[in-house]
Amino acid sequence: MSASTAPVTTTVTGWGRTAPTAARLIRPRTYEEAVAAVRECGARGGIPRGLGRAYGDAAQNAGGAVFDMTGLDRIHAIDADDGTVLCGAGVSLHRLMEVLLPLGWFVPVTPGTRQVTVGGAIGADIHGKNHHVSGSFSRHVLSIELLTADGEIRTVGRGTPLFDATAGGMGLTGVILTATLGLLPVETSLMSVDTERASDLDDLMARLTGTDHHYRYSVAWIDLLARGAATGRAVLTRGDHAPLDALPARARTRALEFRTPRFPSAPTFLPEGLLSRTTVGLFNELWYRRAPRARTGELQRISTFFHPLDGVPQWNRVYGRGGFVQYQFVVGHGQEDTLRRIVRRIAERRCPSFLAVLKRFGPADPGWLSFPLPGWTLALDIPAALPGLGRFLDRLDEEVAAAGGRVYLAKDSRLRPELLAAMYPRLDDFRALRAEVDPRGVFVSDLSRRLDL
């Protein structure tokens, strides 16, 4: 093992910073180093990790090894005619945008941050504002190279059982080394955006149901502190990639330029009480009031539309040393009453959340542990130190499971294992395939131990 891949014992945590554990961090830079790392990871096994944007404990492994895959960050080949790219698993979506946008191509799916790796995007089967149109990330993956527990490297094509177990499998079937992706053609690096207010949750759902099919991208910021007649009021933002003729003539020569603003880092901690119900309520009121009642065709940068928080490095620090829980669930069409009840309960509980979004999902994805299913998904950030939070979220989990919904494993840090099978019907298939390809349990994480995956 070279000096660059020599293990370093360090504390590892998710983006929510709630449950740090110590592990040996190994950063392979070649296939050979990756194979050696897997074969020599020890009795506590190992788990691949990208840029650390999983919110909970999915990329942690207490007492074992964590494989930092950001060293495999080469873009190997781009077919600018067919719109495909072959790249290492450690390449970030940010890097792909830098390289691909000037060529007229865009990543087919992006979450709320571009600071995720391709391997992480497949392992979590990420979704974005366009799931109702484009599905999840793995729908656009043509094939992967997967390092399995026996030290072998397999080419795994879309539609095979191993691929479907790996898409959303949280790194537990092996280490993704490369991926071939299909891309989206674009004419500019700007977005044409429509923004409008919704007066309450029913108004919001009606707007989304009635007109979402006109937009490639759609998301609503929702005020979860508003109560009474305003419960669920929201700001709805939708759009698509701007065509070249939507730009002023002077801007067309730079139509595919990719620029990203950057602001000062968030403070290491905030004074106690700054993220209180009062301050978050004031922020939510101002955010809702400053939004236009209706505005169409505004041109925005890609970074502004998709990734506004990326402009603030280490924004997760704003929740203080105690960190935060991101809770995301989905319930199907026909379960709107469940969504209404949960939104009312959150509002009545006065959870101080200013980062809360509602989206509609399209058809379910083929990954056995993929999160999306057709319906409604709500995601919210909550300070972890909020009294009684665990018990409150446990009750929401039970209601979600009873409605045939599920929580997102890439963001989870506290789900009870007995609810997992009800939420993920292909769980037994996943466990059986994992036992077949990894009989010694080489790939393991804090998440997999907690949920008995």
In this predicted structure, the answer to whether residue 1 has a pLDDT above a threshold of 60 is: no
pLDDT, residue 5, reads 65
Chain Cα centroid distance, residue 302: 17
Chain Cα centroid distance, residue 41: 27
Cα Rg for the chain, rounded, in angstroms?
A: 21
Burial class (CB in 10 A: 0-12, 13-18, 19+), 232: buried
Residue 133 Cα distances to 62, 110, 124, 358, 366, angstroms? 39, 13, 19, 16, 15
pLDDT classification of 284: cutoffs 50, 70, 90:
confident
pLDDT, residue 433, reads 98
Please report, to the nearest 10 degrees, the dihedral formed by the alpha carbons of residues 72, 78, 84, 85 taken in order: 10
pLDDT classification of 371: cutoffs 50, 70, 90:
very high
Query: pLDDT digits over 33-78, tens only?
Result: 999 999 999 999 999 999 999 999 999 999 999 999 999 999 999 9
| Residue 254, CA atoms < 13 Å, CB-side half-sphere | 7
Query: pLDDT digits over 74-126, tens only?
Result: 999 999 999 999 999 999 999 999 999 999 999 999 999 999 999 999 999 99
3-state secondary structure 7-29: CEEEEECCCCCCCCEEEEEECCC
The rounded distance, in Å, linking the Cα atoms of 85 and 16 is 31
Pull the structure tokens for residue 372.
Answer: 């999306």
Query: pLDDT digits over 122-171, tens only?
Result: 999 999 999 999 999 999 999 999 999 999 999 999 999 999 999 999 99
Q: What share of the chain in percent tops pLDDT 70? A: 96
pLDDT, residue 403, reads 98
In this predicted structure, the answer to whether residue 271 has a pLDDT above a threshold of 70 is: no
| Residue 296, CA atoms < 13 Å, CB-side half-sphere | 1
In this predicted structure, the answer to whether residue 173 has a pLDDT above a threshold of 90 is: yes
In this predicted structure, the answer to whether residue 408 has a pLDDT above a threshold of 80 is: yes
Using alpha carbons only, give the angle 277, 336, 280 rounded to the nearest 5 degrees: 10
Spell out a b/e string for 116-125, using b for 16 or more CB atoms within 10 Å of the CB, else e: bbbbbbbbbb
Query: pLDDT digits over 311-351, tens only?
Result: 888 889 888 888 999 999 999 999 999 999 999 999 999 98
The rounded distance, in Å, linking the Cα atoms of 291 and 411 is 28
Using alpha carbons only, give the angle 253, 255, 259 rounded to the nearest 5 degrees: 120
DSSP 94: H
pLDDT, residue 257, reads 93
pLDDT classification of 264: cutoffs 50, 70, 90:
low
pLDDT classification of 278: cutoffs 50, 70, 90:
confident
Q: What is the mean pLDDT of the chain?
A: 94
pLDDT, residue 275, reads 72
pLDDT, residue 33, reads 97
Chain Cα centroid distance, residue 406: 15
pLDDT classification of 413: cutoffs 50, 70, 90:
very high
In this predicted structure, the answer to whether residue 272 has a pLDDT above a threshold of 60 is: no
Using alpha carbons only, give the angle 215, 218, 219 rounded to the nearest 5 degrees: 165
Burial class (CB in 10 A: 0-12, 13-18, 19+), 57: buried
- pTM, whole model, 2 decimals? 0.95
The H-or-E segment that residue 237 falls in is strand 234-241
> Helix, strand, coil shares of the chain as percentages rounded to 5?
35, 25, 40
